Amino acid sequence: MGITLRNNTNYAAVFSVRQADLVILNWRVLEANQLQEIKTGMPAMIQATTSLGNVDYSSESMTLNHAAGYVAQLVQDIEKKTYQLNVFQIGNTEPNVVQLYKTCTPPVIFTLRCEEQFEQTVIVDKSLVPARLTTSGPYFIDIVVNGITIPTVSSELANPTITVITEVDNPEAGFYRVEVS
């Protein structure tokens, strides 16, 4: 399964793709007349970081479950006289939503990563109030061609092909449009 991206212009195009709130692809450059397949449904990792008293703490990475909640806790280690940041998975009350919680005072940054495809950060400021990432729904695609940002397009298709092309009526003007099929 995947999304096919096509740049049918004479310029490099930069693509970003998300499914609902979840980033699938961070700003990927496709050269002129280039095509690329982007995999979807790949396993991602989640990790948390925070700072307390000018000391940075990072949790271990764990596999992201798209229908779970995650809690970051800053736990004291009395023997070492320090703290440790732990993240654990909890049940979720909303299907297709990742809920991100923290119990500590400082803000926590949750980072979601998937190989070379994406990295997304979510900052949680309020304790026990979840940040919510909807993980199912339409795809949203942002494209920049030759420095021109094209309005965001969306697709409900499971495996869409997204093609950016130069308007044939006036290619010198630099107008571009996107076709979804």
DSSP, residue by residue, 37-57? EEE-S---EEEEEEEETTEEE
Based on the number of CB atoms within 10 Å of its own CB, is 93 exposed (0-12), middle (13-18) or buried (19 or more)?
exposed
Q: What is the pLDDT of residues 72-88, one digit of tens each?
A: 999 999 998 999 999 99
- The token duo for 152 is 């965001």
Q: What is the DSSP letter of 156?
A: -
- Domains of the chain, residue spans: 2-41+137-180, 45-133
pLDDT value, residue 167:
80
Q: In the chain, what percentage of residues exceed pLDDT 90?
A: 72
The whole-angstrom separation of Cα 100 and Cα 16 is 23
Higher pLDDT residue, 169 or 91?
91
User: Per DSSP, what are the bridge partners of residue 23?
Assistant: 18
| Amino acid in the structure at residue 82 | T
Q: Is 69 left (phi over 0), alpha (psi -120 to 50) or beta?
A: beta
Based on the number of CB atoms within 10 Å of its own CB, is 116 exposed (0-12), middle (13-18) or buried (19 or more)?
exposed
The whole-angstrom separation of Cα 76 and Cα 13 is 48
pTM higher than the cut 0.85: yes
User: Per DSSP, what are the bridge partners of residue 37?
Assistant: 4
Q: What is the pLDDT of residues 36-74, one digit of tens each?
A: 999 887 789 999 999 998 999 999 999 999 889 999 999
Most distant pair of Cα atoms in the chain: their distance? 73
pLDDT value, residue 159:
92
Q: For residue 172, what pLDDT band results from cuts at 50, 70 and 90? A: low
CATH topology of domain 2-41+137-180: Immunoglobulin-like (2.60.40)
Average pLDDT value for residue range 122-144: 94
CB of 85 within 8 A of CB of 110? no
| Amino acid in the structure at residue 168 | V
